[in-house]
Structure 1
């Protein structure tokens, strides 16, 4: 489901250098569709999202993030509220590592908390003259409270096409370790591709993405997603 929080609301901590950390901030994001690895978590509708984050110059950070959700008919879950903490390491002038843990919680009816689950993650970033390359990995040992292992592996590259204008291409694969407990459209795994344009104007960040999966379901088909966000220092 979720973004990796850890994208958290389009905020990609792996790209933050250690000397830029040391503040409290909040990001508010409005998106035309809350997709996580190509699957809509808002029933193909819009979502309003917000985060509150703390980080310091040691590379440590923690925060919380919330969004409305809609998993379709028969499910009354309305809110996802996540918490996370991690550590950023600048290994050398070109390589960074971001590692941490997140906990996803769901609300809206009395049984929604049965969906809650933890997730650990590690993200490597490599900066070069042709852009930033990312290798990311997420793992949960209790995916959606079902006592099943689940992992996501992603490779991505971001490059600048003009000052203040970037394009990011990514490929990821989500895999269940026991498809009898959790399956993606009847299979143990699925693939997701995403191509996005990112820019900013007068303090607002804009993101326009084209994405698709190899699942034949209406919440994970080809789609265009637009979002606008703003980050406030506190």
Structure 2
């Protein structure tokens, strides 16, 4: 976990100390990122000390936090981190955080997601990950927090189908279903391509549904660190739902998993 500590410190230094970062981030956003990094770092480093063999984590610095085709940071950078504690039985609990900035503004500055689930092999080539996910936005106006049940079926680690279902999709108090197919194509030990195509069924909430997809290339330049370049795209329905936050955009990220 020493690599995790070093990389976390690097992310904080990159985001807060260099002058160009201050030019593109408002003070509130910097404070939100500090909270995310601090909270997740405590979880990562504290948990790893007690049960290192069963704890994994991830950290990332991205040019834009894109969720289901829509920017969650108004196309500004985000610092993200997560931790997962897994039992030998396959059951696990995880926490993940990021800074956010929505449009229209609801005073949200951070997002914390909590998941409880089970993952494991169904057969030699098949794996299942089923989990209950809680989206939380501390300090926001109204009631933006909501829950979702998800299941992802993976074949040979390179092809997957996932479905999410919520009776309060995006805190709309109406039902939404999210379906995604994904593919991963390893070129060699350092390079791989990834692609996704998804449909978000939101007729009850927004009287419409939308489609989005992504194409990305990942370079594992030095394990466990990776650089990722992703092209995101959505249909016109997404642009109507999320004006200026959906559409075509490019995202660059530095990430690491431990």
Task: Report TM bin, short chain.
Answer: 0.7 to 0.9
TM-score normalised per structure 2: 0.73
Q: What does residue 120 of structure 1 align with?
A: 149
Alignment of 1:214-225 (within 5 A): 214-215=235-236, 216=239, 217-225=243-251
CA distance in 2, matches of 1:206, 1:74: 30
Aligned equivalents of 1:218 and 1:160: distance in 2?
Answer: 33
Offset from partner CA, 1:179-199 (integer Å, 9 cap, x none): xxx22xxx5111101001112
Q: SS of the residue aligned with 1:107? A: coil
- Corresponding position: 1:197 with 2:217: yes
Shift of 1:164: 2.3
Higher relative contact order (CA 8 A, sep 6+): 1
RMSD of aligned C-alpha atoms? 1.8
CA distance in 2, matches of 1:168, 1:26: 21
Stretches of structure 1 that go unaligned for 5 or more consecutive residues are: 1-20
- d(CA) in 1 for partners of 2:226, 2:248: 23
Cα distance in 1 between the residues matched to 2:255 and 2:195 = 20
Partners of 1:106 and 1:74 in 2: CA distance: 12
Q: Indicate which of 185, 192, 198 corresponds to 1:166.
A: 192
Alignment of 1:63-82 (within 5 A): 63-82=94-113
More helix by share: 2
Instruction: Report if aligned partners of 1:140, 1:150 keep a CA contact under 8 Å in 2.
Output: yes
Provide structure 2 residue ranges, at least 5 long, that are not aligned to the other structure: 1-51
Q: What number of residue pairs does the alignment pair up?
A: 201
Contact 1:123 1:134 (8 Å CA) reproduced:
yes
Larger radius of gyration: 2
- Structure 1 residues 111-156: Cα deviation after superposition (integer angstroms, max 9, x where no partner): 25x01001000100011xxx71111101111123332111110111
Q: Which has the higher strand share?
A: 1
Q: Which residue of 2 aligns with 1:7?
A: none
